[in-house]
Homo-oligomer: A and B are copies of this chain.
Amino acid sequence: MCDRKYAILGTGALGGFYGAKLQKAGLDVHFLLKSDYQHVSQCGLFVQSKDGDFTLHQVNAYHNVEQMPQCDVVIVALKTTQNYLLPKLLPLIVKHSGVVLVLQNGLGIEEDIAQIVSNVHIIGGLCFLCSNKVGPGHIHHLDYGKITLAEYNPEYQPHLITEKMEQIAHDFQTAGIPIELVPDLLLARWQKLVWNIPYNGLSVILNATTEELMANADTRRLIEQLMNEVAAGAKSSGRIIPHSFIETMLNYTVKMKPYRTSMKIDYDQRRPLEIEAIFASPLKKSQTAGVNLPQISCLYHQLQFLDQRNRSAHPTP
């Protein structure tokens, strides 16, 4: 196997799943953990997966970034609400000419990271993954797992497929994770928002699963209207999302297993919601280009209200 060293920042449903798959495939993986540190350093990680369960009895677990080795690829798998930690974390662990791989949803994150670390490659990854963390060091992989990768260029200019992208794709594919390499990160991010904005938003606001939302004619129609607004936002960034893409997303969701979205899980557990990355940032980007997205704005304000009430009623420790 190759000797690329991977760091996982945020060993949850997503980082824990991909990190464990990479280690299982023989890669050298280093996990940063917070609340699960004790458990994982003693007992390892357990992945319960529709592709087959497995346990890693021994993992490189860290509670403190200063003890981690410098890595070739640092996977940012935190919730975006924790991205305020990145200026303290990234400069310590990413190698010169290494890669920061951002496996998060939303817009504008790479721009922020480019301010924090220079002389690195920043690659964005959009994950199509249904996975939950169900206990300490216990990941439940429900379905999917594919990642779409694109390298970040200043101003989100489209980019050729780079060697770094190929290397990462190789490692992930070795681990059994399907990878698609694409030239346009901003387009890929807007495409991902076509799903995230309606389903994450409405699942919280209406306390509903994806299945319930698709079974009702009114929410089905509202979802399509919201997807059209995301396409209008993309267009304001010069990216075209055709209606056939929207239809594919709708059909794909109907066929999905009933799913509690990640934002709904955060809400139910009274964690902060990723409203900034998924809603505020696309709204701001479109607004700057002179385009209003009124229904997305409506969801944004509703979510802000719910998030604030949710956390003020029962403060997180």
Beyond the given pairs A218-B304, A225-B298, A295-B298, 9 more chain A to chain B contacts, judged by CB atoms under 8 angstroms and listed by A's residue number, are A205-B205, A205-B302, A206-B302, A206-B305, A208-B309, A221-B301, A222-B297, A225-B297, A294-B295
A291: interface (CB < 8 Å)? no
Contact of A295 among B202, B205, B295, B305 (CB under 8 A): B295
Report the Cα distance A221→B280, complex, angstroms. Answer: 14
Instruction: Point out the residues of chain B lying under 8 angstroms from A297, CB to CB.
Output: 222, 225, 295
Question: Which residue on B lies nearest to A294, using beta carbons?
Answer: B294
A299 at the interface (CB under 8 A from B): yes
A23 adjacent to chain B (CB < 8 Å): no
B218 touches A301 (CB 8 A): yes
A93, B300: Cα distance in complex, Å: 49
User: Which A residues fall within an 8 A CB radius of B?
Assistant: 202, 205-206, 208, 212-213, 216, 218-219, 221-222, 225, 294-295, 297-302, 304-306, 308-309
In the bound complex, how far is the Cα of B309 from the Cα of A219, in angstroms? 12
Residues of B within 8 A of A218 (CB): 300-302, 304-305, 308
Contact between B298 and A222, CB atoms less than 8 A apart: yes
A-B pairs with beta carbons under 8 Å apart, 13 shown = A205-B206, A212-B309, A216-B304, A216-B305, A218-B304, A218-B305, A219-B302, A219-B305, A222-B301, A225-B297, A225-B298, A294-B294, A294-B295
Q: How far is the CB of A197 from chain B (nearest CB, A)?
A: 12
Residue pair B294, A225 in contact (C-beta under 8 Å)? yes
A300 nearest CB across to chain B (Å): 8
- Residues of B close to A299: CB separation below 8 A: 298
State in angstroms the CA–CA spacing of A8 and B306 once bound together: 40
Asked if residues B298 and A216 are in contact (CB atoms below 8 Å), the reply is no
Name the residue on B nearest A221 (C-beta). Answer: B301
CB distance from A289 to the nearest CB of B (A): 18
Q: Which 3 A-B pairs have the closest CB atoms?
A: A218-B304, A222-B301, A218-B301
Q: Which of B206, B295, B302 contacts A306 (CB 8 A)?
A: B206
Q: Which residue of B lies closest to A307 (CB)?
A: B218
Chain B residues whose C-beta falls within 8 Å of the C-beta of A305 in the assembled complex: 206, 208, 213, 216, 218-219
- CB-CB under 8 A from A208, the residues of chain B are 305, 309
- Distance in Å: Cβ of A69 to nearest Cβ of chain B: 43
Most B Cβ at <10 Å: residue of A300, A301, A308:
A301
